[in-house]
Amino acid sequence: MKLLDKNILAARMGLEKESLRVDQRGRLAQTSHPFPDDAELDVDFSGNQLEFVTGVCDSADEVWEALRRLHRKAARVLEKRETGPEYLWPFSNPPYVQAEGENPPMEFYGEKAWKTAYRNHLRDRYGTQLMLYSGIHFNLSFPEKFREAISAIGDAGVGTGCAGETRRSVDAAYLNLAAWTTRYAWLIVYLFAASPVLDESYFCPGKKDGTPCLKYASPRSSEIGYWNDFEPVLDYRSLEGYVDSILKYTKDGTLMSPAELYYPVRLKSAGLYDLERLRREGVSHIEIRIIDENPYSEIGIFREDVRFLHLLMVYLASRAPKPFPEGEQLRALRDMKRAALFDDSNCLSNGLSIRENAAQALQEMEEFFEDDGSAPEGGVAPVAGSAPEGVAAPVAGSAIGGGSALVGVTVPVTDSASAEWAYIREALDFQWRKLEPGGRPAEIIREEFRKEYNRKGLELAKAHSRKLCEED
């Protein structure tokens, strides 16, 4: 990076994370929701699935620390439950399932009774098993100073019209970002997939000692994941069109609610997900919904991974607007599901392997940040290149098992050795190490947990709880 405008890293972020509660045996907890009046520790589909909700933060590091604080808070309460200690299951895939329906819909009353009706609808339409998947959502918004900085690059989508910008220009920029993020959804799934072991009791509740499913690196993002039974097509040409293209599925009865549209990326207004409010007030932020929990982190995600998601959004925000027709949308969603396969030699729609595409995407990001933001034209570019010179071969498991400490990085910090440069360098190196043989989270996790998934998972859950409870 030669000339870095600090404002190009300006962003506001939030994290949401689902986690199943388990008892001392590693079975789904059947106790009441332990935080009934805590907006930060909410409930998802069922009472045994916690949802951590951070506030809006000004940096990746700040939001990561906020999520860690919530995990410490939860761990200390769960450890001292009257019915015995409970733990947070560390995987996106559930533990052993004794019987179908162990995660009944959470019941709400009064003004919130609609939540019960909606959850009962999901149960009846999709079954309770799909609801056992857990994941992480990453929310991001760009302030005006970012849009001004990124507009200097030239054809940046988010920067369009930022001088005295109107709401319409900001909405158009977020629509462009949402389209590009959907095109790159496969990359997020590939780099963050961390659920290669799925106990057979998920498919056959009560079955013990079955053969785990090992076909997928991330079942929840794969063809067997939590998706609609149709392929949605959205209109990215205007916010009005975007809203109407989602509402048409509710008006014709295909969906009960817009929230039932299971899509990797959402554009949202401030507050609860409300499309009419989105139409009235415009886009507040973008939400990425396809992030697996990494069991080697006590909170399910590493600091460097949050930083990378931030940088990916900066990079994609710089991409020139480009039509996103129906055929390309469908290919993007199918590529995302292909990237959830464990075998990364499978090809995406461009005929190149998932790994080759990932290497090229990271190389594009390298060039963007190092060359003052000269982003390539077009979509996912053809493969050319690999890890840049100076990135050391990874230490086994360093991309998932080493906390926030970096291992094996030899790239010198050039120019002014600024904090911004270090931030970018560390986040990108963390992803490059995943592309080395055996370096993907899914590869390391499958090797360790393919046998005794439930026993080892419970041991890990307990270890995470102890560490969190001991932290200041």
Q: Residue type for 84, please? A: G
Mean pLDDT per 10-residue interval, the chain, length 472 residues: 72 97 96 92 91 97 98 98 97 96 84 83 90 97 87 56 67 96 98 97 92 93 94 97 98 95 96 92 96 98 98 95 97 98 96 97 92 42 33 32 30 53 94 97 96 96 98 88
Q: Give the DSSP per-residue string, 74-113.
A: HHHHHTT-TT---EE--SSS----SSTTSSPBPP--GGGH
pLDDT score of 161: 43
The CA distance from 182 to 263, in Å, is: 9
As given in the structure block, the two tokens for residue 325 are 């027709």
Under 8 Å between Cβ of 11 and 310: yes
The CA distance from 163 to 104, in Å, is: 51
pLDDT score of 238: 96
Give CA torsion, residues 221, 226, 228, 233, to 10 deg. Answer: -30
**How far, rounded to the nearest angstrom, does the alpha carbon of residue 21 sit from its chain's CA centroid?**
20
- Per CATH, the number for 6-10+144-470 is 3.30.590.20
Residue-range domain boundaries for the chain: 6-10+144-470
Q: Residue type for 378, please? A: G
Give the dihedral sign, CA 418/423/428/430.
positive
pLDDT score of 4: 64
The CA distance from 385 to 459, in Å, is: 41
pTM, two decimal places: 0.89
Give the closest residue to 361 by CA, choosing from 327, 386, 336.
386
pLDDT score of 403: 32
Given the DSSP bridges, would you call strands 265-268 and 87-88 parallel, antiparallel or unpaired?
unpaired
pLDDT score of 6: 79
